Amino acid sequence: MLKLEPANEHWHYLLSVALLSQGKLKEGLYEGEWRLEKYGSWPRATGLPLWEGQSDARLFVSYEQGVADELQWLPILSDLRRMGLSVLVEADARILPIIRRTFGCDFDYTAAPKSRDRSLVFSGHWVTHDYGCTHILPVGSLPFHFRREGNFEDFQPLRAKEFEMPERFSEDSFNVGLAWRSRASREGLYTRLGQWRELFDLPNVTIWNLQYDEEQLDILEAGVDIKQVSGLDTFDGLDDLGGFMSLLDLVISPTNAVSKLAGALGIPCSMLLHSDDHMRYGCVNGYGFPLLPSVRTYVKTAYDDDWNKLIAAVVEDVRVKSEARHKTD
C-alpha cells in the first residue's frame, strides 16, 4: 500500500508496528515518527520546528498520548541532560513531582493541559514568549533520537519518593502489588481479579491492591484477601503510588499506568499484554520490555486466548521467587 500511497501516515504506522514486532527497532522507530502526521496536531500550536539534534536548541519536550505512554519514555530524558541542553518538560501533573525529583534544576517543568482537545486550552504562545523555546520534541520521539540502536542497557530509572511503611506491611513476607485491569473493562483485554485466586493461596506471600477505578466491587465479587494502603490514591496520587511500590518485591499489572510507573522507577514488574500491545512494543513473551528493563512481559498472543495460562506462569514465578527469598532469610 505504501507504493500506492507513500505519504499515507496510517500505512507507515502499520509498518512501524510490524517492524517493532520483529525486533527491528531502528526501522520501526523511524516509521513511528509518521504518527506526528497521523494526528495532525504536531508540532502543536507552537509554530516551533521539530528538533533534529541541534545542540544549541532551547527545547520544548511536549506531552503526548497518555500518562502510561509518557512514563515509558521519560527516563530517556537522562540523555538530554547529558547533552546539557536547555529543556522545558511538559508532563501530566500527576507525575511532575517524580520528574522534578529525578532531574532537579537541570530542566524547567510545566503541567500538560487536561483537555484532550489541546487546541482549546493551549495556544503555545507562552512556550516561545515566556521560555524562549526554539524547537519542539514530542516525548514519544525520545526513543527514536536516543535508543534506536537498541542501547537500552544505559537505563537510568526515575526516582521514587520515600514512603512510610504501611500498617500490616511485613518485610518477612514476599510483598506483591496487583492491578488486574485498566479503567476500561473490555472483555478479553484484561484479567479479572477472580482469576488470580491461586496467587492469594501462596504461602508467605502478601498481595496489595494497586488497582484504580471503582475496584471495590471486583474485590467483593472475587472474595479474596487483598491488602489496602489507607489513604493511597492509586489514580491521582501517582507519586505516592510509586513510593509505595518501591517497598514491594514485585508488581503485577497489565499494560497501564501501574506497570509503566513500576518500570520507569526500576521496580521489578510482571506485565501482562494482549497481542496488540505486544506488537506495538516489540515484546517477546517471558522477556523484558525494551524501554523498561525491570519489566518482564507475559503476552496473550491471540485476542480469544484465555489469560489463565499466563496467570499460572506469573503465579509460578512468584512462588519460585518467594521460596528463594525465604531460603536465604
Domain 41-140 belongs to what topology? Rossmann fold (3.40.50)
| 228-272 tens-digit pLDDT | 999 999 999 999 999 999 999 999 999 899 999 999 999 999 999
pLDDT of residue 125 exceeding 70: no
pLDDT of residue 324 exceeding 60: yes
Cα dihedral 72→77→78→79 (10° resolution): 110
Model pLDDT, residue 215 = 87
pLDDT of residue 116 exceeding 60: no
Instruction: At 247, list the grid cell.
Output: 517497598
pLDDT of residue 68 exceeding 80: yes
d(C-alpha 132, C-alpha 112), whole Å: 18
185 against 314, higher pLDDT? 314
Q: Average pLDDT over the chain, rounded to whole? A: 85
Mean pLDDT of all residues in 40-55: 74
Q: Do domains 41-140 and 174-328 have the same CATH topology?
A: yes
DSSP structure class, residue 227: B
Instruction: At 35, list the grid cell.
Output: 504518527
Model pLDDT, residue 129 = 60
Model pLDDT, residue 53 = 93
pLDDT of residue 29 exceeding 60: yes
List the Cα angle 68/238/62 in 5-degree steps: 50
The residue extents of the domains of the chain are: 1-40, 41-140, 174-328
Could you tell me which of 148, 156, 147 has the C-alpha nearest to residue 81? 156
124 contacts 47 by C-beta, under 8 angstroms: yes
Model pLDDT, residue 119 = 47
Amino acid identity of 184? A
pLDDT of residue 142 exceeding 70: yes
Could you tell me which of 12, 20, 15 has the C-alpha nearest to residue 277? 20
CATH class of 174-328: alpha beta
Distance of CA 303 to the CA centre of its chain: 22
| 280-294 tens-digit pLDDT | 555 544 456 778 889
Model pLDDT, residue 27 = 84
d(C-alpha 141, C-alpha 201), whole Å: 43
